[in-house]
């Protein structure tokens, strides 16, 4: 990540603003929220878990390259080109089409490495990038070996799993970022206008393993109200997809502004939706942030930022693992791919009543906003979408379908609400996959006690979805998931959906749509 310029000082203030807002009363609901953007993902296969050991192996290679080449991997130095050649070799062997793009800066030749995965719609590109160069002072293992290694391993996972996305996948490793985003600027500037419009999402990962980490997600819709404003239309969908992953593992996130310090800059300047994650640079971690994530208050997120000690000991393996899995989750979700072809065993888009039962065990505690099959009214609170129209058709399962006149009208309150399907008989052979669309939306007064959960219950239980709340504004955004339920084949099962507003009083909304079970 390039150095902070004097007019940029927003990261800490953005985080503190969000942290102190958790007790605020929700704003009144406003007019119906806009429809979801074109980036809303179709039903997709679940992303694989990315082994952090594989990512660390790439970091070892980057350190070896730096050690053999004067201690760094900086623009114009032999260590940088050796890094390009290492990444290119791995991608070529995996079946990518790679291109090395050269440019000149400060009298030295720089290189961008672009890798395209065959297939997908060439007019709808999901692009993921990280800068590969280090500062001259050291090997740059956190900045930005971590981002470069993480997206490399995600790209290799695409090849290993045979992922066939609906959209076209492109990965990029940028040169001379430390000197002012020179490589990414060259790439975007050189793209014809028609090619720029094909890039529907750009994901940027710069420093994702800081030793005293925070969990920051670029604020695509400016929902924290701090800084220069939102990214281009579609950036909010990227932000929400990344947040959805961290919510699923119980890790709270905070927004950070597009402050121009990394390679998303040229993309958002060109009107391309962008987003990404960041674990912190030379900024100081606050006590409020320690309460969220642990670590050391008053210390830098990365005390070896742009220093010779930015080596393997300067990486937090847990942060690296979580961020790499978040990258994979987001690439899979935004690129989209249908489940394997097969026989539809069960499908429910809720356009007709099919025998779902509210409070089947008689133990629910929710006092309002209980589950119902209904036509959801698109609503928002303080500019945050809290309820959306059905993912397809008109009906969905939703916690209180009506909008109401004010915040808290018809949202889930008082505890747990449950709804259960009728009996579904599963075949005894083949691979069985459950897919569905869902969202959990809430404001900053939510807690980790709030949740949305989907289970398939037979003689045993498979949990298909488990989203938990956090003290952030999380806008409603239909996300799709796919789960292997082969362990239940041959059984008669029921799908159980439950949601809870179980912590402090908070605005919580949830919905489920397009439930499908396929045999392949």
Return the active site residues: 177
**C-alpha to C-alpha distance for 369 and 414, rounded to whole angstroms:** 9
Which residue is listed with tokens 């089947």?
A: 360
**C-alpha to C-alpha distance for 207 and 323, rounded to whole angstroms:** 10
Tell me the HSE value of 100 on the side-chain side, using a 13 A CA sphere: 17
b/e 298-313 (16+ beta carbons within 10 angstroms → b): eebbbebbbbeebbee
**What are the CA-CA distances from residue 183 to residues 57, 118, 438 (Å)?**
25, 24, 38
Best CA proximity match to 125, nearest among 330, 335, 336, 337: 335
Strands 416-420 and 167-174: unpaired
Length of the chain counted residue by residue: 520
Which residue is listed with tokens 């080596």?
A: 311
Question: Which stretches within 126-190 are classed as H helix?
Answer: 147-161, 182-190
Best CA proximity match to 117, nearest among 174, 187, 170, 45: 170
Asked if residue 229 lies in contact with residue 148, where contact means CB atoms within 8 angstroms, the answer is no
Report the helix count and the strand count for the chain, using DSSP H and E.
10, 23
**Structure token pair of residue 502:** 């179980």
Question: Other CB atoms closer than 10 Å to residue 23's CB: what's the count?
Answer: 9
**C-alpha to C-alpha distance for 148 and 143, rounded to whole angstroms:** 9
Helix (H) or strand (E) holding 293: helix 287-293
Asked if residue 515 lies in contact with residue 347, where contact means CB atoms within 8 angstroms, the answer is yes
State the DSSP string of 303-349.
Answer: TTTTSTT-SGGG--HHHHHHHHHHHHHHHHHHH--PPPP-EEEEEE-
Question: Dihedral, CA atoms, 280, 285, 289, 294, nearest 10 degrees?
Answer: 90
**Structure token pair of residue 473:** 């504004």
**Structure token pair of residue 3:** 């150095």
């Amino acid at each position: 990540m390039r150095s902070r310029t004097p007019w940029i000082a927003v990261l800490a203030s953005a985080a503190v603003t969000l942290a102190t807002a958790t007790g605020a009363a929700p704003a009144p609901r406003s007019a119906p929220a806009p429809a979801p953007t074109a980036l809303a993902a179709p039903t997709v296969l679940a992303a694989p878990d990315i082994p952090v050991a594989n990512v660390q192996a790439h970091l070892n290679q980057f350190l070896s390259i730096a050690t053999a080449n004067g201690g760094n991997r900086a623009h114009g130095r032999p260590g940088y080109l050796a890094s390009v050649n290492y990444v290119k070799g791995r991608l070529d062997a995996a079946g990518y089409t790679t291109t090395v793009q050269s440019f000149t800066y400060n009298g030295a030749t720089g290189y961008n490495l672009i890798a395209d995965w065959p297939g997908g719609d060439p007019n709808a590109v999901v692009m993921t990038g990280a800068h590969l160069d280090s500062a001259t002072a050291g090997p740059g293992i956190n900045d930005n070996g971590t981002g470069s290694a993480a997206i490399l391993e995600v790209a290799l996972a695409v090849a290993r799993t045979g992922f066939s996305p609906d959209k076209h996948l492109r990965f990029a490793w940028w040169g001379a970022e430390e000197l002012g985003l020179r490589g990414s600027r060259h790439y975007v500037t050189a793209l014809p206008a028609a090619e720029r419009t094909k890039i529907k999402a750009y994901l940027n990962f710069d420093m994702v393993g800081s030793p005293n980490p925070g969990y920051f997600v670029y604020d695509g819709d400016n929902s924290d109200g701090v800084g220069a404003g939102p990214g281009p239309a579609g950036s909010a969908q990227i932000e929400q997809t990344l947040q959805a992953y961290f919510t699923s593992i119980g890790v709270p996130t905070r927004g950070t502004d597009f402050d121009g310090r990394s390679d998303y800059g040229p993309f958002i300047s060109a009107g391309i939706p962008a987003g990404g994650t960041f674990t912190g640079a030379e900024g100081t971690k606050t006590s409020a942030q320690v309460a969220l994530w642990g670590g050391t208050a008053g210390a830098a997120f990365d005390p070896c930022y742009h220093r010779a000690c930015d080596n393997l000991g300067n990486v937090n393996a847990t942060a690296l693992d979580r961020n790499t899995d978040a990258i994979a989750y987001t690439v899979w979700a935004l690129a989209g791919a249908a489940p394997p072809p097969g026989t539809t065993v069960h499908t429910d888009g809720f356009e007709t009543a099919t025998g779902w039962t509210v409070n089947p065990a008689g133990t629910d505690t929710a006092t309002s906003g209980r589950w119902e099959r209904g036509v959801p009214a698109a609503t928002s609170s303080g500019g945050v979408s809290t309820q959306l129209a059905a993912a397809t058709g008109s009906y969905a399962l939703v916690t209180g379908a009506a909008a109401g006149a004010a915040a808290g009208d018809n949202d889930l309150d008082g505890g747990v609400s449950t709804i259960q399907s009728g009996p579904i008989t599963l075949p005894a052979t083949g691979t069985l996959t459950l897919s569905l669309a869902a969202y959990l939306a809430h404001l900053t007064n939510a807690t980790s006690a709030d949740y949305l959960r989907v289970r398939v219950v037979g003689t045993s239980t498979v949990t298909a979805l488990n989203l938990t709340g956090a003290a952030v504004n999380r806008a409603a955004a239909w996300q799709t998931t796919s789960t292997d339920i082969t362990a239940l084949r041959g059984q008669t099962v029921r799908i159980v959906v439950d949601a809870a507003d179980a912590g402090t009083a908070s605005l919580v909304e949830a919905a489920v749509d397009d439930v499908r079970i396929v045999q392949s």
